[in-house]
Structure 1
């Protein structure tokens, strides 16, 4: 499958959402003036690489791969960075490289991490968990989700948002990593995902912002089918660095019943950060529009260089994505 050669968009707007994929450093567009909008700032696949210039917002979402080598040292570096960010709510999940957070996998496979870190040793769980759920994390407004739901408001009397976070992603190729599941288990995994406003997963759905540099779709077909039932307001994921981008999906269109083959033309347009429409003009009821974002900050594939020069972590083309949603 190849992507349609559309212009790369830096902003997508609809009556109930504004997505900023690129913006001047330190100067993103302001949140819409009404108090009934909530600003989400999206990160993913930071892999222990911290960077300045994360925009302010009401809610920070991180969709996993907090670390590169899955160690306490790596996670501590990332969490110190997240602790210091000013967002009133910071909701995070793990990813397949956050080895020590999947204890069953880690205890059986921790020697695998020696391929990435020659000094790898088995690490106990308590100090690692403390970074995510201990007093410093609580004081910094960190909420760590592992296949669970969280409810919150960003202002008194405002909307109660629900978010469900899952670190699980399909085992892809011969590599089996933390929080991985086989294709035979996929339906059981995703059937546990409830109705929610915001879905936070590490892996993408099949055929949507999941195209690798080897022209393979690495997303989960079962997740794609489940999304047609859940229809969240916002689905944030990462994992496939080179497919970073955003797409606004209108479920009410005749060909939009599923994220599958019958909708392939729209999905083609969505690959690698391309979108079919910069402006979505239809006014649609809640549950009929989903903003999909692959929020990877790791420069890779078409995002690895800009004007012939390497892109820094979190730099042009891989900045934190900003999504404003109308309550």
Structure 2
């Protein structure tokens, strides 16, 4: 009997389960090559240029599921991207709100996740009368549910050499525009899991304002920090909306195994990456699919061109920093992923 890590026939019990690399190599070898080619070339790109000499430090968390992370880093803005709770009762949600409100960050912004049942009127009846009794007190926490928020945040240069009187006078405040929305492709019973829509349905087009700096969703955009192989569990319509808007920062969670951060450069290498992963691999595992191989070649060629343009000439394509802020480590029920910090 093969151990799970070496069994090429291994299939996770759910779409949100982890598939070992050996199994992926057997199930989707060309897509695995495409994935690693794209991410290797992205890794060597330089970091995005900050929007200001006094960047806002954003601390990103998600999927705490009633737990309280220790040692939350300091920052100007704290974002929680949903699944604060397990059962979604008023008492569970309020405990998480009280903990968030106690943190020292200047501003705190929260959206819901599919486990935060009470916050969706459609799933609220699944709770017992005791679980849904009471009124939530959000205090200083900003709750976004298909809502836009503008914040003025006072920031100081973190580089001691940059703290000149002129800079302090001119850039002591930053205006940040945020949009948050909780909806996700269906992943469980509609009566229990909040804010779901049928997988494949477009619940995103033209919903996100064009002038935002930060987008907060619970679901990932498809193929990005998302268990991308073999098929991805994020939303393709959200990806199209993020491509249209191109926010500076996109924070999400939901897929615990996808935790981390990456920079998406909106260029032709990225287009080929998404197009290649979208191709269905059947019994040939993609080995005999010329369209899939052609997208591997495009990712390599376009990615090298973009890398040279970046590293040699200092050019940068439009970009978005994407953060999967899930704290829950896989399906263990315990926190284990690093808290993500981004300066924008």
Residues in 1 aligned to 2:50 and 2:273: alpha-carbon distance in whole angstroms: 20
Alpha-carbon distance, 1:12 to partner: 8.8
1:176-201 CA deviation, whole Å, 9 max, x = no partner? 310111246424x3421111111000
Residues in 1 aligned to 2:185 and 2:77: alpha-carbon distance in whole angstroms: 27
Change (3 A) 1:150 1:12: farther
Equivalent position SS for 1:160: strand
Structure 1 unmatched runs, 5+: 19-33, 111-119, 270-275, 305-310
Equivalent position SS for 1:81: helix
Query: For residues 18-29 of structure 1, what are the structure 2 equivalents within 5 Å?
Result: none
1:88-122 CA deviation, whole Å, 9 max, x = no partner? 00011010000001012222x33xxxxxxxxx545
Change (3 A) 1:190 1:63: farther
Does residue 230 of the first structure (1) align with residue 245 of the second (2)? yes
Residues in 2 aligned to 1:258 and 1:235: alpha-carbon distance in whole angstroms: 21
Equivalent position SS for 1:100: helix
Instruction: Please identify which structure carries the higher helix content.
Output: 2
Structure 2 unmatched runs, 5+: 1-30, 155-170, 279-294, 300-305
Contact 1:228/1:257 (CA < 8 Å) preserved in 2?
no
Does residue 322 of the first structure (1) align with residue 341 of the second (2)? yes
Residues in 1 aligned to 2:207 and 2:56: alpha-carbon distance in whole angstroms: 27
Equivalent position SS for 1:103: coil
Query: For residues 1-327 of structure 1, what are the structure 2 equivalents within 5 Å?
Result: 1-2=31-32, 4=36, 14-16=47-49, 36-107=54-125, 109-110=126-127, 120-124=128-132, 126-127=134-135, 129-130=136-137, 132=138, 137-138=139-140, 142-155=141-154, 158-172=173-187, 175-176=189-190, 177-183=193-199, 185-187=201-203, 189-195=204-210, 196-211=212-227, 215-251=230-266, 253-257=267-271, 260-262=274-276, 281=311, 282-284=314-316, 288-300=318-330, 313=335, 315=336, 318-325=337-344
TM-score, length-scaled by structure 2: 0.67
Determine which structure has more spread, i.e. the larger CA radius of gyration. Answer: 2
TM-score, length-scaled by structure 1: 0.70
Residues in 2 aligned to 1:258 and 1:294: alpha-carbon distance in whole angstroms: 22
Residues in 2 aligned to 1:11 and 1:44: alpha-carbon distance in whole angstroms: 27
Equivalent position SS for 1:260: helix
Contact 2:231/2:277 (CA < 8 Å) preserved in 1?
no
Contact 1:206/1:259 (CA < 8 Å) preserved in 2?
no
Q: Which runs of 4+ in 1 moved over 6 A?
A: 9-12, 263-266
Change (3 A) 1:11 1:94: farther
Contact 1:255/1:263 (CA < 8 Å) preserved in 2?
no
Match of 2:24 in 1: none
Change (3 A) 1:296 1:11: farther
Alpha-carbon distance, 1:293 to partner: 0.8
Change (3 A) 1:36 1:162: same
Residues in 2 aligned to 1:95 and 1:11: alpha-carbon distance in whole angstroms: 33
